[in-house]
Chain A
Amino acid sequence: MSGAWRLSAGEIARLVARRELSAAEVTRSHLDRISAVEPRVDAFLQLLPDRALERALRLDAALAAGDPAPPLCGVPVAVKDVMDIQGAATTCGSRILEGYEPPFTATAVARLEAAGAIVLGKTNMDEFAMGSSTENSAYKPTRNPWDLRRVPGGSSGGSAAAVAARMVPLALGSDTGGSIRQPAALCGVVGLKPTYGRVSRYGLVAFASSLDQIGTLSRSVADAALVCSQIFGRDPKDATSAAVDVPDLLASLEGGVSGLRVGVPWGFLEQGVESGVLSSFREGLGVLESCGARLIEVALPHSPQAIATYYLVATAEASSNLARYDGVRYGRRKGGSGELRRMYGETRDQGFGPEVKRRIILGTFVLSSGYYDAYYLRAQKVRTLIRKDFEDAFTVCDVVAMPTTPTPAFRFGEKTADPLQMYLADIFTVPANLAGIPGLSLPCGPVGGLPTGLQLLGRPFDEATLLAAGHAFEQATSHHEAEPPL
């Protein structure tokens, strides 16, 4: 097996562009690596080896004919199975979409492929991106490459595990309440959730439309910048994508942190952070300080209410978005020989797993007559307060830092019996989605052999500052280079 599977996305793109390495070799090397470790990790729901090799060979032929090299030339990527690729099934981790083949390709995926990236497969996830451990996948659990008895986090657990296990250097994920950053932290990789509206959601299966955002998982901040340079920006196919210019993200990597004001919400962290995670976090702050950043304390007085706010808003939106799975236009149908309402009920009862049903029930309840004002409307008002806290914080600091998660990866089954315990694991990631701001999780010092994450949150559309700070952090640490013992 050639060693191309250990290379970064940036290195692969450079070597393939110079024709020192062929895209086909790179693809085969990664497919071999997948064959070797995937049986233990189970990161993928579907592999696309023929499609990938065919595209790699076509890219090699184009380069040989003298075509200019695209920016992600020959870089293998994995795509969370919440995004559509025409000609491949989209399951979204659910039985209700089993066998569904979408008639279009998500813009984010199309842009990666147009930039020369090679999609190797689609990764496992919690059903409809609802979960924090990938245990809610209707198909199989994914294991954490650092400890196969533990969860990889979720809902982009397959993408995070695939990147950590060196099956791909890059993967796309989606983040509604932490679904990129939390698994990135638990698997020891870099996870970026861009600003709401930064990446087109055309072809992304909707969960909670005011919160969903596509982002990246990678092994370095530089690779995140490389891929974001391609996927950021307005798309006429997504009315919610923002018409905001994208700066030169690769150039801004070198911005450093000299004089950067890093706000730390110590009061919010009293919500409970495991002591080992807190030590790693303090150590990470020390690294930023030694690179020239200045630490100041900030207050996020309403963030302790973020979990309650999030689970009321997100489930309300989910109950509405998931009404489309009715056995009529796509997906599986059950009870089709009966009457229409019975068909709806049976299709949805047999197609959805327990967590999805729980959230549909909760979301329908908080929107229902008599409860709307007390729950949904009130949560939307608290959301305003949570965002205002960040606006205030960003008048005195440039980024806000906190741990990505309160604990390292937990064991299978540890939180499945009590949904509320699972929800509480998202305490430090949901505020960014509610506020609509970007968040970056960086590999931080391990605790008991398990990775932890340092999270940096930034002003809307200021991913460049997060990437510069993350790059400076990586230059001073080696956590992101650690390879799981597979």
Chain B
Amino acid sequence: MARITVETVDHVAKLAHLSLTDEERETFARQLQDILAYAEVIQALDTAAVEPMSHAGSLSPLRDDGPAPGLGRDEALGAAPDPADGLFRVPRIIGG
């Protein structure tokens, strides 16, 4: 079974773009260990010949691949924290 350390949590938090406090890192490491220990119940089953199921829907037809009106630019930008010149503005990405 996977062993969850504070380092594991740090690695995953980085992947998920979460900045955690020291207390959160330690609590999550302990709790995730408990949850994964519980989840071991599924490891005992023989699933070699079983197909994975990603969803329960199969009766949803695809639409025709034609153009259709969507959300206008002003509406799409309406809830943005920092819109500028018809665009989403973000802090600098590299350099500086």
Contact A419 B35 (CB under 8 A): yes
A420 in complex: contacting residue of B38, B47, B57, B92, CB < 8 Å? B38
List 9 tightest A-B contacts by C-beta distance, closest first: A436-B56, A380-B52, A345-B19, A210-B55, A333-B81, A330-B79, A381-B47, A308-B39, A103-B75
Size bin of chain A's contact surface = 35 or more
Contact A104 B96 (CB under 8 A): no
Q: Which residue of B lies closest to A352 (CB)?
A: B18
B19 in complex: contacting residue of A332, A349, A361, A435, CB < 8 Å? A349
B-chain residues with CB within 8 Å of residue A344 when the two chains form the complex: 17
B91 in complex: contacting residue of A243, A319, A338, A362, CB < 8 Å? A338
B90 in complex: contacting residue of A304, A312, A328, A380, CB < 8 Å? A328
A-chain residues with CB within 8 Å of residue B96 when the two chains form the complex: 339
A340 in complex: contacting residue of B2, B19, B81, B91, CB < 8 Å? B91
**Contact status of A197 and B57, CB under 8 A, knowing A100-B79, A340-B92, A364-B12:** yes
Within 381-401 of A, Cβ neighbours of B (below 8 Å) are at 381-385, 387
Within 14-40 of B, Cβ neighbours of A (below 8 Å) are at 15-21, 24, 28, 31-32, 34-36, 38-40
Does A61 interact with chain B (Cβ within 8 Å)? no
Contact B71 A385 (CB under 8 A): no
B-chain residues with CB within 8 Å of residue A311 when the two chains form the complex: 35, 39
B-chain residues with CB within 8 Å of residue A197 when the two chains form the complex: 56-57, 59-60
Contact B35 A368 (CB under 8 A): no
**Contact status of A382 and B91, CB under 8 A, knowing A330-B79, A333-B81:** no
Does B53 interact with chain A (Cβ within 8 Å)? yes
Contact A385 B47 (CB under 8 A): yes
B-chain residues with CB within 8 Å of residue A103 when the two chains form the complex: 71, 75-76, 78-79
B34 in complex: contacting residue of A305, A323, A420, A435, CB < 8 Å? A420
A154 to B23: give the CA distance in the assembly, Å. Answer: 27
Contact A361 B75 (CB under 8 A): no
Contact A240 B60 (CB under 8 A): yes
Q: Which residues of B contact A (CB under 8 A)?
A: 2, 4, 8-9, 11-13, 15-21, 24, 28, 31-32, 34-36, 38-43, 45, 47, 50-57, 59-63, 71, 75-76, 78-82, 88, 90-93, 96
A-chain residues with CB within 8 Å of residue B36 when the two chains form the complex: 375
A343 in complex: contacting residue of B51, B52, B91, CB < 8 Å? B91
Q: Which residue of A lies closest to B52 (CB)?
A: A380
**Contact status of A354 and B24, CB under 8 A, knowing A329-B79, A336-B91, A379-B42:** yes
B-chain residues with CB within 8 Å of residue A358 when the two chains form the complex: 28, 31-32
Within 324-366 of A, Cβ neighbours of B (below 8 Å) are at 326-333, 335-346, 348-349, 352, 354, 357-358, 360-362, 364-365
A346 to B21: give the CA distance in the assembly, Å. Answer: 11
Does A7 interact with chain B (Cβ within 8 Å)? no
A-B pairs with beta carbons under 8 Å apart, 14 shown: A103-B76, A210-B56, A239-B63, A242-B57, A328-B80, A332-B81, A339-B96, A354-B24, A360-B16, A360-B18, A361-B16, A368-B15, A378-B42, A382-B42
B-chain residues with CB within 8 Å of residue A343 when the two chains form the complex: 90-91
Contact A371 B2 (CB under 8 A): yes
Does A101 interact with chain B (Cβ within 8 Å)? yes
A328 to B48: give the CA distance in the assembly, Å. Answer: 43
B-chain residues with CB within 8 Å of residue A328 when the two chains form the complex: 80-81, 88, 90
Contact B42 A384 (CB under 8 A): no
Does A282 interact with chain B (Cβ within 8 Å)? no
Q: Which residue of A lies closest to B11 (CB)?
A: A368
B-chain residues with CB within 8 Å of residue A346 when the two chains form the complex: 19
Nearest CB on B from A244, distance (A): 6
Contact A242 B79 (CB under 8 A): no
Does A196 interact with chain B (Cβ within 8 Å)? yes
Nearest CB on B from A353, distance (A): 11
Contact A302 B45 (CB under 8 A): yes
Nearest CB on B from A360, distance (A): 5
A48 to B79: give the CA distance in the assembly, Å. Answer: 20
A436 to B54: give the CA distance in the assembly, Å. Answer: 11
**Contact status of A340 and B52, CB under 8 A, knowing A378-B42, A378-B43, A382-B45:** no
Contact B81 A348 (CB under 8 A): no
Nearest CB on B from A210, distance (A): 4
Contact A365 B32 (CB under 8 A): yes
Within 266-310 of A, Cβ neighbours of B (below 8 Å) are at 302, 304-305, 307-309
Q: Which residue of B lies closest to A432 (CB)?
A: B56
Contact B53 A383 (CB under 8 A): yes
Contact B35 A420 (CB under 8 A): yes
**Contact status of A308 and B91, CB under 8 A, knowing A196-B55, A341-B17:** no
Contact A329 B88 (CB under 8 A): yes
Query: Known pairs A240-B60, A308-B40, A381-B50. 15 more at Cβ < 8 A?
Result: A197-B56, A239-B60, A242-B57, A339-B93, A345-B18, A348-B18, A349-B18, A354-B24, A357-B20, A357-B24, A358-B32, A364-B16, A381-B52, A383-B53, A436-B56
